[in-house]
Structures are given as C-alpha cells and as structure tokens.
Amino acid sequence: MFKPNFYKRHYTFADGASLTLGERTLIMGILNVTPDSFSDGGQFLQVEHALKHVAQMVNEGVDIVDIGGESTRPGFTPITADEEISRILPVIKAIKEQFPQLILSIDTYKAATAEAALQAGAHIINDIWCLLYDKDMAHIVAKYGCPVILNHNRKAAIYENTIQDVCNDLMRSVALATQAGLAESHIWLDPGIGFAKDYEQNLDVHAQLYKINQLGYPVLLGTSRKKFIRQTLELDASEVNEGTIASNVVGITQGCQIVRVHDVHAMKKAALMTDALVYRQQY
C-alpha cells in the first residue's frame, strides 16, 4: 500500500503570521476579484463583498486565502499588471487590517504583480506558469524568500507520458527557483489539473498524484469545480462540490497537503475526517 509523504514545513513571516505544513491538510480558500472567473466571476469585485467572503471563510476554518486579480479560466483575456495590481491591492489592504494574521497567497504569473502584493503584505505566490511566463518571477520570489507554488502548465496538451512529463516539467521549474536563490523548503508543487490537459490527461495525472508527492515537495491540489469534474458528473459548476470533495480526498490519500477550494465549509469537514485516517499512518 502506498504510504504518502507529508512534508513538514514551518514558516514565520515578517508580519508575525505563521504557517505549518505536515500536521494536517491545509485549506486554501479562493477569492477571485475578477469579473470573468468561470465559477464566481464578478461576485467579489467590490472590496466590501470580498471582505465579507473572507470573513465567512475564516469562520469556516480557512488556512490560506488565495487572491486572484485575473481569471485563468480556459480562453481568458489577459490583463496588464497595472490592472491586476489595482484589483488586488485594496483587497490585500482591507484583509490585513481586519485579519492581520491571515495567510495570503496571490494567484499571478506576473513578477510586477507578485512584488507589489508581497510589499503590501502577501505571503505566498501562486504561479500558474511555473516561473516560465515572466523571466523575473524566480528572482522576485527568491528576493522576498516567500513560498512559491509551481503550477504545472504548458502551451499545448501534448505529452509522451503525461505524468512523467508533468514531473519532469515541475522539476525544471524547481531548478529555476533554486538557481535564483530560493530555498527548497519554500517550494510547493501543483500538478496543474485543468491546465494544458484534456479530460483523460487530467484523470491520468490525478490518479497518479503520488508520483508528484514522491518528488520531495509539498503538493497543492486545485481541482475545485473544474471542467473534468463537471464533465464527469454532467453538472454545472454550482452543483459539483461533492465531486470536488471526492477529488480532494483522493488527493490527500496520495500525499497532497493543501487543497484549493471554493467551498471551505464542506471541504474542512471532509479533510478533518480524511486526515484522521491518513495522517495516522505517519506515526
């Protein structure tokens, strides 16, 4: 039987906030301050609406809030770094005032946005292009010494061996991060479910997440309401929370340590139960 590795990491940030991996599954709640995200576009563009949603997630037990200022749904329209920054900075400021110890991740592939967010008090960078889109991104995360999530992506869904190619791509981005001076302890991996992968490739990678776990870094899984779940269940995004939970439970059993979700309340309970069964294998 496969025994997952739950890598222990502890981070203390300049503002006094802290985060520990390896003791239980961490819940990352999604906050899209965008007009066009596939599931919740337009709902949290106003700072007061975003803050209300953050308060709800905090009450439900969120560990990290991931703020996105640009939709990355398939076929999205790119925006400038300045526009992205103008969307996220007021939200970061408001969250820092009301929830000063809350861990904030910024979903961006632009170095300028990452630096502005880190200067404003964000803690983690979540790069859907695995440090490959912006040549300055590796330098920025190394400069600030922040945890970075390397999300697998490609320009096209062309693979010889899907899971092996994903692992190889991720390790190339790990090398970019370490060569820039980022400590290996600050690197997290994301298999990039839904990015440059068709339906069968998504299922193939998901079924072999344990191979990414074996690369030696904490793994984040972000499948919430994604197309492969909607396609499997033949349901709309608003109706697939149970499918998201099933996906994440399977991920946790294969060593995923952070799950990125829209529905914190339901996933928190599912993770607590899964952890009670899976984490006991470590002792």
Catalytic residue among 110, 227, 230, 260: 260
Catalytic, 226? Answer yes
Q: How far apart are CA 27 and CA 12, in angstroms?
A: 18
**Whole-number Å distance between alpha carbons of 17 and 41:** 29
**Known catalytic membership, residue 260:** yes
Q: Check if the beta carbon of residue 255 is closer than 8 Å to that of residue 217.
A: no
Phi and psi at 73, nearest 5°, equal -65, 160
- From 226, 227, 230, 268, the catalytic residue: 226
Distance (Å) of CA 265 to CA 48, 63, 102, 113: 21, 12, 17, 30
Scanning 154-223, the segments in alpha helix (DSSP H) are 162-179, 199-207, 209-213
Q: Which residues of 66-99 are buried (b: 16+ CB within 10 A; e: fewer)?
A: bbbbbbbbeeeeebebeebbebbbbbbeebbeeb
User: 192: phi > 0 → left, psi -120 to 50 → alpha, else beta; which?
Assistant: left
**Four-residue CA torsion sign, 197, 225, 80, 96:** negative
What sections of 13-133 are H helices per DSSP? 47-59, 81-98, 111-119
DSSP three-state, residue 136: coil
Residues belonging to the active site = 226, 260
